[in-house]
């Protein structure tokens, strides 16, 4: 399990435990994290699971695939250097303590 903190656009935070092997999106959906819509169910096809990864964690994640990079151009809130799709972040023990911020909206 990895503890992951989600910070909403207003600054409120919520920490949940996500099993190793799940995606960040799966953990958010299973714990009813508001702000993660995941309309495509994790297929890297919709960009409604957009998050901003805390800068200290950005280099610990796998690199973006070309598909993820393309979809990040279609997010409802402008992408930043720390934008990722949570469906493309596999949870591992190394991500215990990860912090992500949710955009104001997904659509």
Reported as a single tens digit per residue, the pLDDT across 56-92 is 999 999 999 999 999 999 999 999 999 999 999 999 9
Question: Is the Cβ–Cβ distance between 18 and 4 less than 8 Å?
Answer: yes
Mean pLDDT, residues 5-33 taken together? 98
Q: What is the mean pLDDT of the chain?
A: 97
Structure tokens at 83: 């934008």
Domains of the chain: 2-97 (3.10.20.30)
* pLDDT for residue 106: 97
Angle at the Cα of 101 (from 68 to 26), degrees rounded to 5?
60
pTM exceeds 0.85, yes or no: yes
* pLDDT for residue 31: 98
* pLDDT for residue 83: 98
């Amino acid at each position: 399990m990895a503890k992951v903190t989600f910070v909403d656009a207003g600054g409120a935070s919520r920490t949940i435990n996500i099993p190793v092997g799940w995606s960040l999106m799966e953990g958010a959906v299973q714990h009813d994290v508001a702000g993660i819509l995941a309309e495509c169910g994790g297929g890297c096809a919709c960009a409604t699971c957009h998050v901003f990864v805390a800068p200290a964690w950005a280099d610990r994640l796998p690199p973006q695939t070309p598909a993820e990079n393309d979809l990040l151009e279609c997010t409802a809130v402008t992408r930043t250097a720390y934008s990722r799709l949570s469906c493309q972040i596999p949870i591992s023990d190394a991500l215990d303590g990860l912090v992500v911020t949710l955009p104001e909206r997904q659509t």
